[in-house]
């Protein structure tokens, strides 16, 4: 790793020039401010040449890709929003014949206002799960929405409360809470629609302390 360069602040540069105007030499200024004499000399020469001590903006390193190649990168991303920057960098390297990093590709993509996309991960369903879901749907296919909602029975828990749950499900503290909240929301929605038998179902959804 090479020697790291740093840049003196503008106030310090002005101080170099002021002391030089007072008649101090480069070595004397460097000794007072504990700087190298070469730095003081360069700053004073810069002031004499340009009339100020403000550092001009630098051009920086040239871009490895030109405007045409940047447009091509954007077109590739717009055609496939799921393509990775690493794979796209390999394609660009083959076209321009120069080494290019994935970070450069990401910089061009972000400059165009585009971001990466990944497919949403869905839960894996095996064939067994699909057959079970199909059988469950066919079993209650003849019921209406209200009849399917009322297809519940009360069950007791160790907390001394009554709850409502579907047939075939176990009674746990988490399941009781989730079923209670879900049933209560559905009951409120159906009662808003004016169904007559919803009041009974809503009453059954309420937790009741055992006598």
> How do residues 124-145 score in pLDDT, each as one tens digit?
888 898 888 888 888 878 877 7
Reported as a single tens digit per residue, the pLDDT across 84-97 is: 889 888 888 888 88
The more confidently predicted of residues 146 and 199 is: 146
Q: Nearest-CA neighbor of 204 among 184, 182, 177, 188? A: 184
Whether 182 has a pLDDT exceeding 60, the answer reads no
Which tokens belong to 75? 């077109």
Whether 169 has a pLDDT exceeding 60, the answer reads no
Which tokens belong to 173? 């503290």
* Predicted pLDDT at 72: 87
For range 103-128, the mean pLDDT? 84
What percent of the chain has pLDDT above 90? 1
The more confidently predicted of residues 122 and 68 is: 68
- In terms of average pLDDT, the best of 33-37, 147-151, 185-189 is 33-37
Residue 81 CA to residue 93 CA, distance in Å, equals 20
Other CB atoms within a 10 A radius of the CB of residue 100 amount to: 20
CA 200, 205, 207, 210 torsion: positive or negative?
A: positive
Residue 148 CA to residue 89 CA, distance in Å, equals 55
Average pLDDT score over the chain: 73
* pLDDT classification of 158: cutoffs 50, 70, 90: very low
Domain definitions of the chain by residue range: 10-50, 67-111, 140-209
């Amino acid at each position: 790793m090479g020697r790291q360069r740093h840049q003196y602040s503008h106030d310090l540069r002005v101080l170099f020039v002021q002391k030089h105007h007072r008649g101090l030499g480069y070595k004397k200024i460097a000794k007072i401010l504990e700087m190298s004499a070469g730095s003081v000399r360069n700053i004073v020469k810069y002031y004499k040449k340009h009339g100020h001590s403000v550092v001009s903006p630098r051009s920086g390193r040239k871009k490895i890709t030109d405007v045409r190649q940047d447009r091509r990168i954007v077109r590739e991303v717009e055609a496939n929003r799921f393509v990775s920057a690493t794979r796209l960098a390999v394609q660009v390297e083959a076209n321009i014949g120069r080494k290019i990093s994935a970070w450069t590709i990401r910089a061009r993509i972000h400059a165009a206002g585009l971001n990466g996309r990944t497919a949403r991960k869905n839960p894996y369903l095996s064939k067994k799960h699909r057959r079970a879901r199909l059988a469950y749907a066919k079993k209650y296919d003849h019921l209406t929405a209200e009849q399917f909602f009322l297809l519940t029975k009360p069950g007791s828990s160790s907390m001394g409360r009554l709850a409502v749950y579907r047939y075939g499900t176990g009674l746990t503290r988490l399941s009781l809470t989730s079923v209670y909240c879900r049933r209560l929301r559905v009951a409120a929605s159906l009662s808003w629609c004016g169904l007559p038998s919803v009041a009974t179902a809503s009453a059954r959804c309420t937790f009741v302390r055992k006598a």
